[in-house]
Structure 1
Amino acid sequence: MTPLLELRSISCGYDNTVITQQLSFQLQAGEIACLLGPSGCGKTTVLRAIAGFNPLLSGSIVQNGTPISAAGFTLPPEQRGIGVVFQDYALFPHLSVFDNIAFGLKGRSRDEKREAVAALLQLVELPDLSARYPHELSGGQQQRVALARALAPKPKLLLLDEPFSNLDTDLRRQLALEVRSILKAQGIAAIMVTHDQEEAFAISDQLGILAQGQLQQWGTPTELYYRPVNPLVAGFVGKGELFSGECLDATTVRTELGTIEFAEPFGAEVGKPLSLFIRPGDIRPSIEPGAVMATIEQKEFLGSSVVYQLSLPSGRRIESEIYEPLMLEVGARVSLHVAAHRPIAFAL
């Protein structure tokens, strides 16, 4: 099957300064992908290159089997049939909601525009706000209008540049799920860039971690969470810390947290050092005696969980998150146990 979009070893930048390099991935029709990475890593630069706003330094971008960008060639944005939702929404302040959405419906009669806009407002759940102006809308409503405007020309691909960053946390998650539902119902593929892991997990079928100018890993959110290819990816898709260890056998490793036995092998060579990535939810303090003892330095009650800051005998401080009413007090001495879930190990 020919991909809807294919990036082939593209390098992007400004004034011959390379920002991202040798980046490759494919997107199928109807698929939703997300580029996740820290601020300044080049996510928006890649998105703008796909849209046709930025030229490529090398490599090529292919849409439905046809090159649309290469070094020295950039098909104009208006000829790509790609919709864009910007971070600041980019609504026209002097136009009503109706006219903002209808802006992309060139060549249609007033009745056709009215029918199309009504359907789009129904789709984004703003059926009664067509006469309002952007300043009369909440942030979430403005984002829905921006989405409706981008969907009006019926693009096969939609690009979203940190579309929820101006909204509060709960509304971001809600809108991410709603946008995913709308795109899936319309059969529209999308690429979103964000630095928010929860947002990326909520919306994407495919996820790419972009850092240090390179695509570190591309795959499903589940693959990246449970099988990160390096510590950078592991730390970006979930909280956790690296612990040095020694592989004792195919499923056992000795670390500062004690000897840990896993249910499945982790592929390290026996007797060799390795680095083990352990998440706070896998570190469990207990009042029962154990091989490794720690002191509770701080605790934070979060409602559904309690986060403990623990100091190890070495002086290192680590974090444990418990999702049950195990109310230990600051200053208490506890033993530590590591849950034997899937190992995330990296050779040193």
Structure 2
Amino acid sequence: MTPLLELNSLSCGYDNAVIVERLNFQLQSGEIACLLGPSGCGKTTVLRAIAGFNPVLAGTILQNGQTISTVGSALPPEQRSIGVVFQDYALFPHLSVYDNIAFGLQKHSGAAKRQAVAELLKLVELPDISARYPHELSGGQQQRVALARALAPKPNLLLMDEPFSNLDTDLRRQLALEVRAILKDQGIASIMVTHDQEEAFAISDKLGILAQGELQQWGSPSELYYQPVNPLVAGFVGKGELFDAECLNETSVRTELGTLEFAEPFGAQSGKRLSLFIRPADIRPSHDSGSVMATVEQKEFLGHSVVYHLLLPSGRRIESEIFEPLMFEVGSQVSLHVAAHRPIAFAR
């Protein structure tokens, strides 16, 4: 199957300064992808290159098998069937909601345009606000109108640049799920950029980690979470700590947290040195006796969980997150157990 979008060895940036290089990934029709990475890593730069706003410095961008961008040659943005939702929504302040959405429907007749706008407003669950102006809308409403305007020309691909960053946490999560449902219902592929891990997990079928000017890994959210290719990816999709480890056999290692046994094999020989990534939720303090003891230095009650800040005998500080009503007092001694079933290990 020919991908809807394909990036081959793409390098892009500004004024011949390379921001991102050697970028390779594919997106199929109807897939929703997310580029996740820290601020300044080049996420928006990639989006602008795909949209045709910025030239590419190396490599190619293909849409449905046809080259739309290469060095020195680019299809104009208006001919790419690509919609864009900007971070600040970029609604026209002097136009009503109706006119904002209708802006991309110049080829429609009056009756067809009115019907299309009405359908789009119904789609984004704002059927009765066509006469309002952007300044009369809440942030969530403005985001929905921006989405409706981007969907109006029926693009093959929708690009979204931090579309929920101006909203509070609960509304962001709600809108992320709503936008995913709308895109899936319409069969429109999309790429969203964000630095918010939960947002990326909620909306995407495919996830790419962009850092240090390169795409570190591309795959499903579960692949990146459970099978990160390097410590950088592991740390970005889930909080955790790296521990030096010595492989004792296929399923056990010796670490600062004691000898750890896993249900799944490491695929490493005895004596092999590894870096083991362990998440706070997998570190379990207990009042039972154990080979490794730690001191509770601080605890944070977060409602759904409690995070304990623990001091190891070596002087190292780590965190444990407990989702059960197990309470340990600051200053108390606890034994530590690791409950991870699937090892996340990297060669040293």
TM-score by length of 1: 0.99
Shift of 1:110: 1.6
User: What residue number does 1:227 align with?
Assistant: 227
Q: Which amino acid is 1:208 matched to?
A: G
1:60 to 2:26 alignment: no
Q: Which amino acid is 2:24 matched to?
A: S
User: What residue number does 2:147 align with?
Assistant: 147
User: What residue number does 2:298 align with?
Assistant: 298
Counterpart Cα distance in 2 of 1:228 and 1:92: 42
User: What residue number does 1:338 align with?
Assistant: 338
Shift of 1:340: 3.3
- Superposed, which structure 2 residues align to 1:180-329 within 5 Å? 180-329=180-329
User: What residue number does 2:126 align with?
Assistant: 126
Shift of 1:269: 2.7
Counterpart Cα distance in 2 of 1:108 and 1:211: 43
User: What residue number does 2:168 align with?
Assistant: 168
1:32-66 alpha-carbon deviations (Å, 9 max, x no partner): 00000000000000000000000000000000010
Assess if the C-alpha contact under 8 Å between 1:12 and 1:46 holds in 2: yes
Counterpart Cα distance in 2 of 1:106 and 1:29: 26
Counterpart Cα distance in 2 of 1:221 and 1:300: 28
- Superposed, which structure 2 residues align to 1:73-84 within 5 Å? 73-84=73-84
Q: Which amino acid is 2:74 matched to?
A: T
Assess if the C-alpha contact under 8 Å between 1:41 and 1:213 holds in 2: yes
Q: Which amino acid is 2:232 matched to?
A: L
User: What residue number does 2:178 align with?
Assistant: 178
Assess if the C-alpha contact under 8 Å between 1:260 and 1:340 holds in 2: no
Q: Which amino acid is 2:181 matched to?
A: S
Assess if the C-alpha contact under 8 Å between 1:8 and 1:24 holds in 2: yes
Tell me, which stretches of 5 or more residues in structure 1 are unaligned?
A: none
Counterpart Cα distance in 2 of 1:208 and 1:116: 34
Counterpart Cα distance in 2 of 1:43 and 1:111: 39
Counterpart Cα distance in 1 of 2:192 and 2:266: 33
Shift of 1:268: 2.2
CA RMSD of aligned residues (A): 0.6
Q: Which amino acid is 1:79 matched to?
A: Q
Q: Which amino acid is 1:119 matched to?
A: E
Counterpart Cα distance in 2 of 1:314 and 1:111: 74
1:249 match: secondary structure: coil
Paired-residue identity, %:
82
Segments of 4+ moved more than 2 angstroms: none
1:309 match: secondary structure: strand
1:9-33 alpha-carbon deviations (Å, 9 max, x no partner): 1000112111100000000000100
Q: Which amino acid is 2:147 matched to?
A: L
Q: Which amino acid is 1:56 matched to?
A: V
Tell me, which stretches of 5 or more residues in structure 2 are unaligned?
A: none
Counterpart Cα distance in 2 of 1:253 and 1:187: 47
Shift of 1:118: 0.5
User: What residue number does 1:102 align with?
Assistant: 102
1:169-213 alpha-carbon deviations (Å, 9 max, x no partner): 111111000000000000000000000000000000000000000
Shift of 1:318: 0.3
Shift of 1:106: 1.1
Shift of 1:111: 1.3
User: What residue number does 1:86 align with?
Assistant: 86
Q: Which amino acid is 1:316 matched to?
A: R
1:327 match: secondary structure: coil
Q: Which amino acid is 1:225 matched to?
A: Y
Q: Which amino acid is 2:325 matched to?
A: P
The count of corresponding residues between Structure 1 and Structure 2 is: 348
Q: Which amino acid is 1:155 matched to?
A: P
2:208 match: secondary structure: strand
Q: Which amino acid is 1:231 matched to?
A: P
Shift of 1:144: 0.1
Counterpart Cα distance in 2 of 1:170 and 1:54: 34
2:143 match: secondary structure: helix
1:193 match: secondary structure: strand
Q: Which amino acid is 2:129 matched to?
A: L
Counterpart Cα distance in 2 of 1:266 and 1:16: 44
User: What residue number does 1:49 align with?
Assistant: 49
Counterpart Cα distance in 2 of 1:216 and 1:267: 22
